[in-house]
Amino acid sequence: MTILGVLFFSSQFAQAAEPELRLSPRKIREEVRAVVAAQLEALRAGDFATAYDFAAWGIRRQFDVQLFAVMIRRGYPALLRPGQAELGAVRDDGQGTAQVMVTVTDRQKSLTAYRYWLVNEEAGWRISGVVREVKPPRGDI
């Protein structure tokens, strides 16, 4: 994980062991996927302000929208390129933490996989961290 990945990854998870996750019920799957898809759409459009709106409070506390944009451009360039994004299985812990694998395929058919972490805040599910995966877990894509 890059330094940017460490910064973007919420301190909530960086200090704690990975929570035990189970396949999410339909409502959670739909909500989580909608948030991730909307942020991806905003990033591809270059609309960092809208993409920032989907960030969790912990991320927003650490970064303003300008620094968020720099971080994405430098650490997550595949998320900005046109192509296809496939969202894998959504898993959650039943207590407000969820994750979903996202595989981005660019025009040259190059694959990049990311593990998205989300937390359920007052305003709904928000993205609390994104980690580039060298090899995604089996069965997630």
Residue 124 in any domain: the answer is yes
Residue 139 in any domain: the answer is no
Amino acid 10: pLDDT: 42
Amino acid 24: pLDDT: 96
Q: Which residue has the tokens 């595989």?
A: 103
Per-residue DSSP letters for 27-94? HHHHHHHHHHHHHHHHHHTT-HHHHHHTB-HHHHHH--HHHHHHHHHHH-GGGTSSEEEEEEEEEE-S
Residue 127 in any domain: the answer is yes
Amino acid 4: pLDDT: 45
Residue 140 in any domain: the answer is no
Amino acid 15: pLDDT: 40
Residue 141 in any domain: the answer is no
Residue 32 in any domain: the answer is yes
pTM surpassing 0.85?
A: no
Q: If the chain, 141 residues long, is cut into consecutive pieces of 10 residues, what is the mean pLDDT of each piece?
A: 43 56 96 98 96 97 96 93 91 97 88 95 96 70 52
Amino acid 110: pLDDT: 85
Amino acid 33: pLDDT: 98
Amino acid 127: pLDDT: 98
32 Cβ neighbours under 8 A, 6+ residues apart = 24, 90, 92, 98, 100, 118, 125
Which CATH number goes with the domain that contains 9? 3.10.450.50
Range of the domain at 46: 3-133
Residue 28 in any domain: the answer is yes
Amino acid 2: pLDDT: 39
Amino acid 17: pLDDT: 60
